[in-house]
Homo-oligomer: A and B are copies of this chain.
Amino acid sequence: MKAPVGNMLIAQSGGPTMVINQSLVGAVLEARKHKCIKHVYGALHGIQGILDENFLDLGNETKATLEAVAVTPSAALGTVRKKPTAQDCEAIFQIMSRHDIAYFFYIGGNDSAETVHIINEAARRAGSPLCCFHIPKTIDNDLRENDHTPGFGSAARFVASAFMGDDLDNRALGGVKINIIMGRHAGFLTAAAALARTAPDDGPHLIYLPERPFSLDRFASDVAAVYKKLGRCVVAVSEGIADEHGTSIASAFSKEVDSHGNAQLSGTGALGDYLATELKARALIKRVRADTFGYLQRSFPGIASKTDAVEARGVGAAAVKFATGGELCGSVAICRVPSEDYAVEFKCVPLRKVARETREMPPSFINKAGNNVTQAFIKYAAPIVGDLPKITRFEALR
């Protein structure tokens, strides 16, 4: 198909990440290379900004500003958690026609892919040549068709770094430390805590993921066993842990749901406090502390994974290349190239394959007992997260 001529509209959606602006800037800079793209508009706060016709002309931004925005965490255009109705999608499609939009790019997770999918279907029904693309983003690393997703590597680098420091803190003071990590259904980010280990007795000593049923009794006996051996224990727990019936443990403390029907898990320390209290009572350990890493996991500046930043830039540029190269719609997927060294390629995959459903950790990444990760996970995640801070201990204590 010949690339249409017209304007481009881009927006950001869902939870921010440390590198979602890399994808935005990657797309904007790539667009400047293509004559078929006239004006480049950014909509503020995702589809809400489209419905409100709240646009910025990104053609006015200098390259220096774009590069500075690219290394700034969070969504520079603002973001939104809004599931559009069929009526919204029709309105969005009309607004885009009025602004002569020929290219629409939406950066987000599976819900955002679903939104693009719906708008794309409206465009197809109307016989419009509108190009509709989803650009992947999620710290949860749970998009189908992707080896991994932009945003995950940097959040994972925060989590692994935090565990390196926190394990040293626990080593110095003793007791039990529980850290609650983001991830509603997929445990990838929690699993990344394992990258903190540099010696056999380093924490996290136990890792609890949403992919395996969580039992308080089992948790208490696991921790007690480590504590008995080392006099301390560091635990990584996903905010999304659920019991054998699939009921989220944290949902008992949450009274708030978002527009996608998801219970609020982040922005509260309730799950960590609950586990610490239960553990004190069950395992009779005096010093038990819990931290909930919260929003810092996705927003802490200056510590992004270099690999993640490069790939986030890459998927943004790739979406524009696919669209101007004749593809009508799709989602950009990161695929790992089988090779000795780490390498990826970007593919254009059908929107419906990425929309709605998410993926979880494969069983090969989780140990049999369901309280740790395997070496296969470490091998998978290490190149995405990249280099970590150097730490050491005295030779006499090694």
Q: A273 interface residue, CB < 8 Å from B? A: yes
Contact B300–A162 (Cβ < 8 Å): yes
Q: A122 interface residue, CB < 8 Å from B? A: no
Interface residues of A in 67-110 (CB under 8 A from B): 68-69, 71-81
Q: A171-B74, A301-B164 are in contact. Are A62 and B16 (CB under 8 A)?
A: no
What are the residues of chain B within 8 A of A290 when measuring CB–CB? 267-269
Interface residues of A in 1-41 (CB under 8 A from B): 12, 15-16, 18
Contact A295–B75 (Cβ < 8 Å): no
Smallest beta-carbon distance A23→chain B, Å:
14
Q: A261 interface residue, CB < 8 Å from B? A: no
- Name the segment of A124-132, A218-226, A385-393 touching the other chain: A385-393
Residue in B69, B273, B301 whose CB lies within 8 Å of A393: B69
Number of copies: 2
Contact A293–B296 (Cβ < 8 Å): yes
The interface bits of chain A over 30-74 (1 if a CB of B lies within 8 angstroms of the residue's CB, else 0) are 000000000000100100000000001110111001001101111
Contact A168–B16 (Cβ < 8 Å): yes
Looking across the interface, which residue of chain B has its beta carbon closest to that of A162? B296
Q: A278 interface residue, CB < 8 Å from B? A: no
In the bound assembly, the distance between CA atoms of A60 and B394 in angstroms comes to 9
What are the residues of chain B within 8 A of A164 when measuring CB–CB? 301
Looking across the interface, which residue of chain B has its beta carbon closest to that of A178? B267
The interface bits of chain A over 260-285 (1 if a CB of B lies within 8 angstroms of the residue's CB, else 0) are 00000011111011001000000000
Contact A270–B273 (Cβ < 8 Å): yes
What are the residues of chain B within 8 A of A111 when measuring CB–CB? none
What are the residues of chain B within 8 A of A56 when measuring CB–CB? 394, 396-397
What are the residues of chain B within 8 A of A302 when measuring CB–CB? 161, 303, 388-389
Contact B296–A60 (Cβ < 8 Å): no
Looking across the interface, which residue of chain B has its beta carbon closest to that of A271? B269
What are the residues of chain B within 8 A of A78 when measuring CB–CB? 171-173
Residue in B266, B288, B389, B394 whose CB lies within 8 Å of A69: B394
What are the residues of chain B within 8 A of A268 when measuring CB–CB? 269, 272-273, 276, 289-290
Contact B295–A394 (Cβ < 8 Å): no
Residue in B65, B172, B293 whose CB lies within 8 Å of A75: B172
What are the residues of chain B within 8 A of A392 when measuring CB–CB? 65, 68-69, 72
Contact B79–A296 (Cβ < 8 Å): no
Smallest beta-carbon distance A219→chain B, Å:
17
Q: A350 interface residue, CB < 8 Å from B? A: no
In the bound assembly, the distance between CA atoms of A179 and B133 in angstroms comes to 36
Q: A177 interface residue, CB < 8 Å from B? A: yes
Q: A166 interface residue, CB < 8 Å from B? A: yes
Q: A395 interface residue, CB < 8 Å from B? A: yes
Interface residues of A in 292-323 (CB under 8 A from B): 292-296, 298-303
A selection of 25 A-B contacts at a CB cut-off of 8 Å is A16-B168, A56-B396, A56-B397, A60-B396, A61-B395, A65-B394, A68-B390, A68-B392, A69-B393, A69-B394, A71-B390, A72-B390, A73-B168, A74-B165, A74-B171, A76-B393, A80-B173, A161-B301, A166-B296, A177-B295, A270-B273, A289-B295, A291-B294, A291-B296, A293-B296
